[in-house]
Chain A
Amino acid sequence: MKRLLFALVLLVAPWGAFSAQATPVQTVTTPSGVTAYLLADPTLPIVSLSFILPGGAVSDPADRRGLATLASGLLDEGAGPYDSQAFRARLEDQAIELRFDAGRDSFSGSLKTTTATLEDAFALLRLALHEPRFDAEPVDRIRAQVMTAVRMGEADPQTLASKALFAAVFADSPYAFDEQGSEEGLRAITADDLRGFVRRQLVRQGLAIGVAGDITPEHLSALLERTFGDLPATGDQPPLPVPTPRLAGTTTVIDRDIPQSIALLAQGGLKREDADWQAAYVLNYILGGGGFNSRLMNEVREKRGLAYSVYSTLYPFRTVGLWLAGTATQNARLGESLAVMRAEWARMAESGPTDQELADAKTYLTGAWPLRFTSTEAVAAILASMRMTDLPADYIDRRNAEILALTTDDLRRVAKRLMTPDQLTAVVVGRPEGLPPAADPTAPAVR
Chain B
Amino acid sequence: MIKRRFGFRGPGSRLGALIVLVVLGLPALARAQVFNPETFTLPNGMEVVVIPNHRVPVVHHMVWYKIGAADEPAGKSGLAHLLEHLMFKGTPTIPPGEFSKIVARNGGQDNAFTSSDFTAYFQSIAKDRLPMVMEMEADRMANLRLSEEDFQTERQVVREERRSRTDNEPGELLSERIGQALWGTHPYKNPIIGWEPELMALTRADALAFYDRYYAPNNAILVVAGDITAAELKPLAERTYGALPRRDTPQRASLRDPLRALPPPAETVITMHHAQVAQPSFSRRYVAPSAAFDPQGMADALEVLDEILGGGSSGRLYKHLVIERGMAVSAGSWYRGEALDWGSFGLYASPRDGVAMADLVAAVDAEVASLLDQGVKADEVDDAKRRLTAGLVYARDSLSEGARALGEALTTGSSVAQVESWPERIKAVTPEQVSAAARAVLGRRDRSVTGFLLPEPRS
Residues of A at under 8 Å CB distance from B?
Answer: 7, 10-11, 13-14, 17-18, 41, 43-46, 69, 72-73, 84-85, 88-89, 92-95, 97, 101, 104, 112, 114, 137, 140-141, 144-149, 151-159, 161-163, 165-166, 178-180, 256-260, 262, 264, 290-293, 298, 301-309, 311, 313, 315, 324, 326, 328-330, 360, 363-371, 373-377
Contact = CB atoms under 8 A, between A and B. Distances in A.
Nearest to A368: B107
Q: Which 6 A-B pairs have the closest CB atoms?
A: A367-B107, A14-B126, A305-B156, A162-B11, A95-B391, A309-B6
B391 A114 contact: yes
B8 A313 contact: yes
A293 B126 contact: no
Interface in B89-114: 97, 100-101, 104-109
Contacts of A326: 9
A41 B391 CA distance: 18
A45 B276 contact: no
6 contacts: A84-B323, A92-B312, A151-B278, A159-B12, A161-B11, A165-B11
Given A7-B105, A14-B128, A367-B108, A259 B57 contact: no
Interface stretch (B159-167, B177-185, B288-296, B431-439): B159-167
Contacts of B163: 259-260, 308, 328, 330
Contacts of A94: 390
A313 B168 contact: no
Listed residue (B97, B127, B152, B157) with the most chain A CB atoms within 10 angstroms of its CB: B157
B153 A46 contact: no
B277 interface: yes
Contacts of A365: 107
Interface stretch (B15-23, B212-220, B245-253, B444-452): B15-23
Count class of interface residues, chain B: 35 or more
B387 A93 contact: yes
A14 B390 contact: no
A18 to B, nearest CB: 6
Main secondary structure of the interface of A (DSSP, over half): helix
Contacts of A162: 10-13
A41 B54 CA distance: 11
B266 to A, nearest CB: 32
A307 to B, nearest CB: 5
Given A305-B157, A308-B158, A371-B58, A44 B396 contact: yes
Contact of B105 (A10, A163, A179): A10
Contacts of B393: 44-46, 114
B87 interface: no
B168 A157 contact: yes
B424 interface: no
B314 interface: yes
B331 to A, nearest CB: 11
A291 B11 contact: no
A85 B397 contact: no
Contacts of B350: 148
Contacts of B107: 10-11, 14, 363-369, 371
Contacts of A293: 100-101, 104-105
Contact of A375 (B54, B152, B399): B399
Given A158-B13, A303-B153, A305-B154, 5 more contacts: A152-B18, A313-B10, A368-B108, A374-B56, A374-B398
A256 B160 CA distance: 17
B12 A178 contact: yes
A95 B394 contact: yes
Interface string B114-150: 0000000000111111000000000000000000000
A166 B11 contact: yes
Given A89-B314, A95-B391, A374 B58 contact: yes
B55 A155 contact: no
Contact of A93 (B9, B100, B154, B386): B386
B160 A328 contact: yes
Nearest to A310: B6
Contacts of B105: 7, 10, 293, 360, 363-364
Given A104-B12, A180-B12, A376 B329 contact: no
Given A92-B313, A137-B323, A148 B18 contact: yes
Interface string B201-237: 0000000000000000000000000000000000000
A330 B8 CA distance: 19
B77 interface: no
A88 B105 CA distance: 46
